[in-house]
Structure 1
Amino acid sequence: MATTIPIAANDLNPAPIEANDEVTSDWDEESIASSTQSLSESIREHVYENGRRYHQKSKDQYMLPTDETELDRLDMVHHMHLELLEGNLCITKFEEGADPANVLDCGCGTGIWALEFGDLHPGSQVIGLDLAPIQPGWTAPNVKFELDDLEKEWTYPKNHFNYIHSRHLIMSIKDWPRYIAQLYSHIAPGGRVELVEHTIDKSYSDDGTLLEESPFNAYWTALRPCYEKLGINWRLHGTHYKHMLEEAGFEDVTIYTLKVPAGGWPRDKKMRRLGSIFAQVASTGVEAYGLGMLTSLGGYSVEEATELVKNSLVPLRDPKVHAYYFEYYITARKHAWEGDTPLHLQS
C-alpha cells in the first residue's frame, strides 16, 4: 500500500517524526468538517450530565457521551483513520471481486465504517454492532445495525464471519482474552480479523518537549484510577493485543505501529495534516473521555474536571511540544480447515 505515512509490519518503534520548527501556530491548517446522519433515538434512553448527553442503558459500561458533539468527533476519528491508511478502510486487503461474504463491525459507533465498507464491497453482508442506538435510521441493502453487548455471549453462528473489524474498544472491553476468544469462535476458517486500538496511558515525545508533568499527561494520570474502577486496562499496547490473538489460536498475527502527532507540529505535510485532524478530535475528545469519569469516579468537582480538561489542551496548541500517541493495527487469520476454500486476500 503506497503511503507517505510509514506503515511497517511488526515495527514496534517507528522512526521519530521530524518537527517543523518554523511553524508558529498549530491552527494554520484548513478547518476539518464532518457531518453525521440524522438519528432516530428516544429521548427516554438518555441522561444529561454536565451539559453532555449519555446513553442511559450503557452508561455504566461506556462512559463516553452520545450527543451530536460526540457523533461528530467519532466521524472525525473515522476520517483520521482514512488519512492514516491513504483512504483505505482497513489494512486487510481483499482481492478485487472477492468480497468477504459475512462481515461484523464490532463497536460500530455512528455506523460510518460499516456503511462505507458495504458500499465498497456490494457482495458482503455487513452487520454493525454497538451498545448505543447512534446509527442512522436508513441503511444500505447489505448493511444492518444491531444493538448488543460485545462482552456477553454472542448469539451469532460459530465459524460464520469471513472478516471482523474492531476499532477503538479500549474504553468498552473489560475482558480482552474473552472478547478475542469470541472473535476466534465466530470467525470462519481462513477468515481475518483486524483490531485497531490506541494508547490511553499517556502521550509521548521523542525529543523531551512533552514533559512528564505536562498538563496533557496530568490529564491521563488523573484518569487512571477511573479506568481501574471501570475495569479498563489502560496499560495495553500493541504487543499485548498481538499476544492475546496468538493465545486464542490466530495465525499470521501482524502488528502495524503508527505514531500519530498530537497537533500540527511535524515538518512532513501529510503528518502535519494528520496532527491537525487529531487536534480537532482532541478539542472535544479530551472532555468526552474525561469529564464524566472524573466527576463520577475520580472525585473531581465539575469545575475541577473542566479546568483539568481545558489545561490539557494547551500543549496540543504549542508547536514546540512534539507530542504523539500510538495507533495499532493488528491483523490475524484463523487457520483454514482442510478442504475449505479460504477467503482470497492480497499478500
Structure 2
Amino acid sequence: MTTQGKLFLAPIRKNIKNALDIATGTGIWAIEFAQQFPEAEVIGTDLSPIQPEYVPKNCRFEIDDAEDEWAFRTKFDFIHGRALLSCFRDPGAVIRQAFNALVPGGYLEFQDGIFPMSYVGPERTDTALYRWNELVLSGAERAGLCWTNVQHYKRLFEEAGFEDVVERRFYWPMSPWPKGRYYKSIAALFQEDMLSGLEGFSFKALGLHGWSTDKILEFLEDVRKDMKDTSIHAYITVVIVYGRKPSGASQVS
C-alpha cells in the first residue's frame, strides 16, 4: 500500500536472471517477485525455515545468515531486503557483501523503518509508548545491536561504492490520527502489525533490563493503550534506498 502495490522501486531490467532476498522471513516478497519475473531464479535466505513448502518453480529458500561470509555460486542482478533494522550488528558489512555479490549494473534495495518513533508536535515523553521506544533501543544495545542504523543506509550504500543512490521516505502513523483515507488505512495495518508483534519485539529487549515476565506484561498493556490513543501523534519514517553497482566495479572489503 505504501508504494501503490510495487514490490520495489529500483529501476531494474525486466530480463533479470538472478535475484536474492535476504532475511526473507515468511518469504512472501520472494514468492511475489518470482511470480512477477518467471524467467528469473529467486533465492530467499533467512535464519529460520518458516517459508511455505509450495512456491513458484523459480523460487527457493536457504538457511543462511547474511552477516556470515557470502558464498553464492552466482552473481545477482537484484538484491532486496526489508525490515532489517533489528537484524545486523554491522549493516555496512552486509551492504558491502551485497555490492560484491551483484553483477555490474545490478541494484541493491533496502526497505526499512527509522526507529525510534517520531512525533508530530512535542514528543510525548510522559507516555508508556515513548518509554518503550527508549527501553527497546537500550535493550538492543545490551545485546550488541543498534536499531538506529536505517537513517544511515544512503551513506552506507555510497561508501560501499554504489552509484545513483536514491532515498525515498514514507510515513506510517501509529494510530489513525491523521486525516485522509491513505494514512488512516496505513495506520490501521501498521497498528495491527505492532500490536500482534509487541510481545515478540519486547521480551528479549526488556528482559535484558532485568524485568520479570509479569512486569513486562503489565507494562505492555500500557504500551498497547498508547498505540491506540489517537491523541498521541506518533509515526515511523519508512525509508526505501536503492543504488546501482557501477560497470567495471571492483570488489570491496
TM-score (norm 2): 0.94
State how far apart, in whole Å, the 2-side matches of 1:277 and 1:217 are.
20
Q: Which residue of 2 aligns with 1:162?
A: 77
In structure 1, what is the Cα distance between the partners aligned to 2:223 and 2:186?
19
Q: Deviations over 1:214-236 (max 9, x none)?
A: 21111111122321122211232
Tell me, yes or no, if structure 1 residue 315 matches structure 2 residue 233: no
The whole-number CA distance in structure 1 between the counterparts of 2:94 and 2:217 is 34
Residue deviations 1:180-200 (CA, integer Å, cap 9, x gap): 110110011000010111123
Of residues 63, 88, 95 in structure 1, which corresponds to 2:6? 88
Taking only aligned residues, the RMSD between alpha carbons, in angstroms, comes to: 1.5
Residue equivalent to 2:244: 333
Matched, 1:119 2:32: no
Distance, in Å, in 2 between the alignment partners of 1:226 and 1:316 is 20
Identity of aligned residues (%): 30
Q: Which residue of 2 aligns with 1:282?
A: 194
Give 2:18's aligned residue.
102
> Take 2:191 and 2:137, find their aligned partners in 1: how far apart are those partners?
22
Match for 1:272: what amino acid?
Answer: K
Amino acid in the other structure paired with 1:254: V
Aligned ranges 1:1-347 → 2 under 5 Å: 83-94=1-12, 98-157=14-73, 160-201=75-116, 203-208=117-122, 210-238=123-151, 240-295=152-207, 297-337=208-248
Task: Tell whether the 8 Å contact from 2:85 to 2:148 is kept in structure 1 after alignment.
Answer: no
Q: Is the 8 A contact 1:170 1:232 kept in 2?
A: no
1:101-143 per-residue CA deviation (whole Å, 9 max, x = no partner) reads 1000000000110000000111111000000010011221100
How far apart are 1:274 and its partner, in Å? 0.4
CA–CA distance in 2 between the matches of 1:231 and 1:181? 20
Equivalent-residue separation in structure 2 for 1:212 and 1:199 (angstroms): 18
* Preserved contact between residue 118 and residue 126 of structure 1 (Cα < 8 Å): yes
Alpha-carbon distance, 1:94 to partner:
4.0
Cα distance between partner residues in 2 of 1:261 and 1:225: 23
Letter of the aligned partner of 1:204 in structure 2?
A: S
Q: Which amino acid aligns with 1:145?
A: F
Structure 1 stretches of 4+ moved >6 Å: none
One-letter code aligned to 1:216: L
Distance 2:144 2:204 in 1: 16
| Cα displacement string for residues 39-65 of structure 1 (whole angstroms, at most 9, x for unaligned residues) | xxxxxxxxxxxxxxxxxxxxxxxxxxx
CA distance in 2 between counterparts of 1:224 and 1:114 reads 29
What does the per-residue CA deviation read over 1:119-169, in whole Å, with 9 as the maximum and x for residues that have no partner?
0111111000000010011221100000011111111147x1000001111
8 Å CA contact 1:104–1:164 kept in 2: the answer is yes
What is the number of residues matched between the two proteins? 249
Distance in 2, Cα, partners of 1:272 & 1:150: 35
Partner-residue secondary structure (3-state), 1:255: strand
Q: What is the identity, as a one-letter code, of the residue corresponding to 2:71?
A: T
Asked whether the 8 Å contact 1:226–1:293 carries over to 2, the reply is yes
Q: Distance in 2 between matches of 1:165 and 1:176?
A: 14
Instruction: Quote how far apart the aligned CAs of 1:284 are.
Output: 1.6
Question: Which structure 1 segments of 5+ residues have no match?
Answer: 1-82, 339-347
In structure 2, what is the Cα distance between the partners aligned to 1:288 and 1:93?
35
The one-letter amino acid paired with 2:5 is G
| 8 Å contact from structure 1 (residues 223, 298) kept in 2 | no
> Which structure is higher in strand share?
2
- Return the TM-score normalized by structure 1: 0.69
1:99 touches 1:122 (CA, 8 Å); kept in 2?
A: no
How far apart, in 2, do the equivalents of 1:171 and 1:316 lie?
20
Deviations 1:218-257 (A, max 9, x none): 111112232112221123243x111111111110111111
